Amino acid sequence: MSQLAARHRLVPRLGRFAWLMALYSENHARITRLFPVRDLMPGRWVSDVGDGLPLVVDVMGQHPYTSEMRLSYAIPDPVTGEPDPSAYLRLYHDARQLEATHCYVGRRWQDVIGLNPTPQRLLGHRMRMNTFLGKWLQYLAERGHGEASLRFEGAIPATEREIDVENA
């Protein structure tokens, strides 16, 4: 029994923050296998693999060390008109991290975690968002989305250009 306890203590524990950083790293690897994000000029890109669900990749901004973008389908939520699902992403090129800053999957963040979430609740929400993002990116790769299916559509419509943090 003491050997089992001793062996259990030798296994390092991964805290929630470390787990979140690992998710960011995995998601960076997934998106860079899909698209050459750093090389995409700002604007609307569409990846269509013929399955009836074209993926909209809005590159909101390119900066020396980061890219800001939104992934969504061209399917509006019938109540809000927002693309559903959608995820606002920040890609850190130097740190090789991809963070989902906001997601819209049928509900806004305020409805999910409240207006004044505790740090633990906020961290849990970030973990769920980035887990969702990882699964979505894996699904997109399995469906055949990638650089070959990506085409430039033009500028992002003015009504969708800014990230609306209050409603995202």
DSSP 25: H
Strands 97-104 and 55-62: unpaired
Q: How many residues does the chain have?
A: 168
The Cα–Cα gap between 57 and 140 comes to: 12
Of residues 161 and 91, more confidence is placed in 91
Considering the entire predicted model, what is its pTM?
Answer: 0.78
pLDDT in tens, 80-91: 667 667 889 999
Highest mean pLDDT among 11-25, 92-106, 141-155: 141-155
